[in-house]
Structure 1
Amino acid sequence: MEDRARLFTRGHVGVVILTSTRERATEIANDALKLVQRYEGFELRLLVDGERKTQMREFMTRRRDVVVGTPGRIRDLLENEDEFARGMAKTKMLIFDDTATMLTLGLRDDMDAVSAYLPDPARVTWIYTTELTLPLRQAVRTLLSPNHLFIHEGEGVDTPPEPWEHVKQYHTVLPHASDQLPHLTKLIAHDQLSNPGRSRVVIFTPTARVAQLFTTFLRHLAPSLPAGGRTTFHEVHSTLQPGERTAALHTWVSDPSGSSVLLSSEISLKAEQYGPCTRIIQLGIPPSAEIYAQRISRACLPSADLRADLVLLQWEIGFLSWILGQHPFHPCTTAELGESLTLLAEKSDSGPLTSFPPSVPATEALDQVPAEIRQFDPGVAARLATLPELFEALKPQVDELAVKQTFASLLGYYIPKSGDLRVSRQVVIQGCKDWPRACGLQGEAYVSPEFVRRLGMEDTRGKRFASAWKERVGGMGMAVRPRMLSERFRTRE
């Protein structure tokens, strides 16, 4: 009897956990290992992209009590590996982790395919999510039985404050797209001076192309920063292979420089994978209010001057007013940032050691952290003053093809979000057409009339759309709800 049980456990999977990304699957596997180690003989298999032969060898020769992987990877193995398919045929439990994110990433077909293969009558299915979106409700009808149960883990319990409620949040509306790169550089400089010796800045961008392009640009502008060329830049986005993303995250988390910057467009990575940081910068609108809240919750470095900055262009203001209304934003103009930066730079130049926390010089004295990395060179204010010159020198070196590809990615990102922005698609297209100026190019990008026509818009409607936009912003450069607009007019009367 024991031999038969042993053969069964070696030949069949007990629990399957599907999650959104390779990184999230690795995180779950590490946590699950701590649990299964308490039970003698229990083993776990992690199935992600990039290690097919090794994974299949372990799967075929060892126990497979718990399998953790991504929907696409599991589906691929089910369709192409007979041994794997036979091992999954008697699975008793299927768990979908972070389901809303999987649906956002377009993994619905893979989820359905895996669910359809597993034995339905004898299977228990769990769906875990932090938000009940419409796509998720639709998926529930397919993935769960009609008499499924909904369990709210916080029901009957006082809900503690959200982590993001403790983070100081600021928003800046830039007058021109060409102000984006200089403003980002100043925000990085501000954090290096506010958290000297321990600055860790994460910049979230709308698309992977923006993260890739702006990483290159910011490296060129780095000499104007307080830490100068010692500032390290990292990037994590979908254009990297899974193994490259994992390596980049590891390098970022273990970066000892005290002045590091990470640019990312990922929406599925969790706080633990990013590690502690001192500042979150959201460039452009985030994918959703929930994702923005998750992102700024990652600014969790103890005893640091925590801050989150939302940097928008004028046509993006509607998202701030309508979607992020629950967040306690404080306005931060470019002039205010410049004044604060000047004061911090003067303080640093007057006594560099006094601007660093006491622990940093003490650590340097023990040779635990190289002083040449942690300590700012003299002349911080003078370096900051070189930013306009460096930006002008960058413009002739810009790769126009890379900018055009990035512009196309922005169109794909922003056009579906015109409803969240409370503007027409024509306004969104015009805003994206102006964006190449952020990279120092002259003039706007070209969008063919055929492309506009396919979106169901005609050029003759532009004036009416522009008029509607002016009504929405009330002629004051900020989006307002219709009720607020009517109240303003009644007050004037």
Structure 2
Amino acid sequence: MSPVQAEVLPMLPALAEPYDPKDTTNVRDLLVRAKTGTGKTLGFLVPAIEARVKSIQQYLDGPHDTGSPATALRRFTRRTVGTLVISPTRELATQIANEALRLVHHHTEFEVRLFTGGTSKRLQMRDWMKGRKDIVVSTPGRLRDLLESEPDVRSAIAETSVLVLDEADTLLEMGFREDIEEIKRFLPPTPQRQTLLFSATVSREIQQIARSTLAPNHKYINCVSDDSSPVHAHVSQFHTILPSASAQLPHIMRLIAHDQLSNPGNSKVIVFFPTTKMTQLFSTMIDVLAPTALPAGKSTRIFEIHSKRTQDKRTQVSNMFRAAKGPTVLITSDVSARGVDYPGVGIPSGREHYIHRVGRTGRAGTAGRGDLVLLPWEIGFVTWQLTDLTAQVKQLAEQADEDPKGARPVVPVVEDIERTIGALLPRLDEAAISETFLSLIGYYIAKSPELRVQKSVILQGCQDWTTGACGLAAPPYVSAGLLQKLGMTDGRTKHFGKARELMPQRDRPLDAPPRDKEPQWASEEQPEEDVDVSEYKTSRYQMRGNGYSNSPRRGGGRSEWGRGSRREGY
């Protein structure tokens, strides 16, 4: 039994008693501080199930408008919600729902409902209308949407017995406070509604949420001892400031190779990227390079998750990655991922997001490692965002200078990484690189205050990335219109890059909106953008193949790589 379970579960059965306005002494609301990965899901699901059982029994024991207990039970369980669990992400919500299904296995009549984006609202409502609502797990955005548009959801949520806010600090970090406040308007008031709030940290904002959400006599349970460091503090953490963009892909491949050599046959790596476009591009490159540039070779399985995949596909790939045996690599945006060991490429969306990334390794006492790979102009993230972290932060570059070969022999395939990458770069689709470039400047320009770097430096760095990391002969042209949208026209700024025809079909500036479409230049406050990979333009000589063609750039045959992709679930 974990510390959080040891604190919460002994409070049963009193914790699961139905609301009694005459009893003002029983404490039903909890604020629980518990680290991620400490079994807190059981800490709130077990009381939730017990509370539902008791509320059903209380209803059946009381007066009701039908003489048949079976009919009364069916009506009660379909028009009321037992427990509503609000989770910050689709993946975590799905994980909680699956855990709930396992726990209610012996309550054969119990049903669990899951509301998340990325899946059919019509199908979700069909199941909602015809089934019980014992446990409902949802992300804030989808739930708010349903509450505002579906009367049947509003009426049932208005009869909720227990509200659980899981990972409340992450909910606030991701900007869901307004959604939570709006959702609360549809719920029964406190103390009629029981509320359990779980958070890894108890910041001032969390305290404000607790005061407005929990009953005045709520109990605070701290499962993080004063001398206990957070999960991420137990994880070996490294950061590397690359000398140039050209070192980015080789360094990533070496990190994956290092893990495969350190954990032969059992390597499991997650690589985070800041945008969907970058995730797609690097997933293609790593998948192509893996058979010849990694020690495990063709036995390396590559998985890919990002926001442009449907929720069903993301869940499928996530489950495949968790269950996979042997050397595996998950390429993902910050939208998801649970891991054992991963490098992160590019800055996370903030300090807390970095901790969240690293906290996904070293869970439940297991060992882990995190690598943050940055370009020179990204160093401000380490300098200004990670200054107060107690975790170990080292520079891999210094270790490499001291001992280039390391403690283990370097297999020939690792030494040959640069040559293999050099052969790949000419085959990359220019349009894919250009679209990724646009996604990066949209993401990083919004982060310039956090990095404490000028926008012009970021733009130049992203352009250098297209030539150094991706092998373009010249960086993409950036028009005056785009510079203005980026807030970079002060009378002194010149165009960045030379006007040139990126692809034979492309005779307009890179940032020109698609014909018959409105321009989409909103800055990317979130780490993913909305343009689908299918919108990439193609050359008459290159069929669009997820950023890669078997033919060199600007010529060759029409053979397409992509349909033969090794990536799992692609």
When normalised by structure 2's length, the TM-score is: 0.65
Query: Structure 1 residue 331 and structure 2 residue 407: aligned?
Result: no
Match of 1:8 in 2: 76
2:164 pairs, out of 82, 85, 95, with 95
How far is the alpha carbon of 1:38 from its aligned partner?
Answer: 7.4
Taking structure 1 as reference, are residues 343 and 154 closer, same or farther at Cα in structure 2, changes over 3 Å only? Answer: closer
User: What corresponds to 1:387 in structure 2?
Assistant: 417
Deviations 1:407-458 (A, max 9, x none): 1221222122222212222222222222212112233333333333344434
Residue in 1 aligned with 2:481? 450
Contact 2:343 2:373 in 1 (8 A): yes
Asked if structure 1 preserves the Cα contact closer than 8 Å seen for 2:377 and 2:457, the reply is: yes
1:179-258 aligned at under 5 Å gives the runs 179-222=247-290, 223-256=292-325, 258=326
Partner of 2:437: 407
User: Aligned pair 1:421/2:490, yes or no?
Assistant: no
- Aligned in 2, Cα 1:158/1:59: closer, same or farther, shift over 3 Å? same
Q: Name the CA distance, whole Å, in 2 between partners of 1:145 and 1:74.
A: 18
AA of the residue aligned to 2:138: G
- Please give the secondary structure, in 2, of the residue aligned with 1:24: helix
For residues 285-337 of structure 1, the C-alpha deviation after alignment (integer angstroms, 9 at most, x for no partner) is 12222222232233338999843221111111121122112232122118817
Helix, strand or coil: the match of 2:352?
A: helix
* Counterparts in 2 of 1:337 and 1:260: CA distance versus 1, 3 Å: farther
- Residue matched to 1:483: none
Kindly indicate whether residue 331 of structure 2 is the aligned counterpart of residue 263 of structure 1. Answer: yes
Q: How big is each residue's C-alpha offset from its partner over 1:104-125, in whole Å with a ceiling of 9 and x where there is no partner?
A: 5455564444333334475455
Map of 1:62 onto structure 2: 131
Q: How far off is 1:213 after superposition?
A: 0.7
CA–CA distance in structure 1, aligned partners of residues 307 and 330 of structure 2: 14
C-alpha distance in structure 2 between counterparts of 1:198 and 1:128, whole Å: 33
Which of 153, 168, 172 matches 2:240? 172
Higher deviation after alignment, 59-68 or 197-206: 59-68
Q: CA 1:129 to 1:413, structure 2 compared with 1: closer, same or farther past 3 Å? A: farther
Q: CA RMSD in A?
A: 3.5
Matches within 5 A, 1:74-113: 74-105=143-174, 107=176, 110-113=179-182
Find the counterpart in structure 1 of residue 513 from structure 2: none
Q: CA separation of 1:119/1:164 partners in 2, compared to 1, >3 Å: closer, same or farther? A: closer
Q: CA deviation at 1:403?
A: 1.3
**Secondary structure of 2:309's aligned partner:** coil
Work out the CA distance in 1 between the residues paired with 2:115 and 2:489: 49
Is 1:30 aligned to 2:98, yes or no?
Answer: yes
**Alignment correspondent of 1:286:** 348
Shift in Å at residue 212 of structure 1?
Answer: 1.1
Once residues 207 and 285 of structure 1 are traced to their aligned partners in structure 2, the CA distance between those partners, rounded to angstroms, is 11
* Change in CA separation of 1:86 and 1:335 when aligned onto 2, cut-off 3 Å: closer
Could you tell me which residue of structure 1 aligns to residue 42 of structure 2? none
**Alignment deviations for residues 379-415 of structure 1 (CA, whole Å, 9 cap, x no partner):** x31x234322222221221111111221122122212
Aligned to 1:129: 199
3-state secondary structure, aligned to 1:153: strand
What secondary structure, in the 3-state scheme, does the structure 1 residue paired with 2:357 have? helix
Aligned to 2:17: none
Q: Contact conserved, 1:224 with 1:387, CA < 8 A, in 2?
A: yes
Q: Distance in 2 between matches of 1:63 and 1:443?
A: 60
Identity across matched positions, percent: 39
Residues 238 and 266 of structure 1 are in contact (CA less than 8 Å); yes or no, is this contact kept in structure 2? no
1:155-166 matches, within 5 Å, as 157-166=225-234
Q: Distance in 2 between matches of 1:177 and 1:98?
A: 36
* Structure 1 residue 33: Cα displacement: 4.4
8 A contact 1:433–1:447 mirrored in 2: no
Q: Secondary structure at the match of 1:401?
A: helix
Return closer, same or farther for 1:301/1:193 CA change in 2, 3 Å cut-off: farther
Deviation, 1:71, is 2.4
CA distance in 2, matches of 1:310, 1:298: 14
Query: Matches of 1:131 and 1:413 in 2, distance apart?
Result: 27
SS of equivalent residue, structure 1 residue 344:
coil
What 5-or-longer segments of structure 2 have no aligned partner?
A: 1-62, 495-570
TM-score, normalising length: structure 1: 0.74
Task: Report the Cα distance in structure 1 between the residues aligned to 2:285 and 2:481, rounded to whole angstroms.
Answer: 32
The question of whether the paired residues in 1 share the 8 Å contact of 2:164 and 2:195 is answered with: yes
Partner amino acid, structure 2, of 1:173: I
Change (3 A) 1:110 1:294: closer
Counterparts of 2:260 and 2:342, CA distance in 1: 13
For the residues of structure 1 that align with 2:97 and 2:84, how far apart are their CA atoms? 11
Structure 1 residues 146 and 39: alpha-carbon distance in aligned structure 2, compared to 1, 3 A threshold: closer
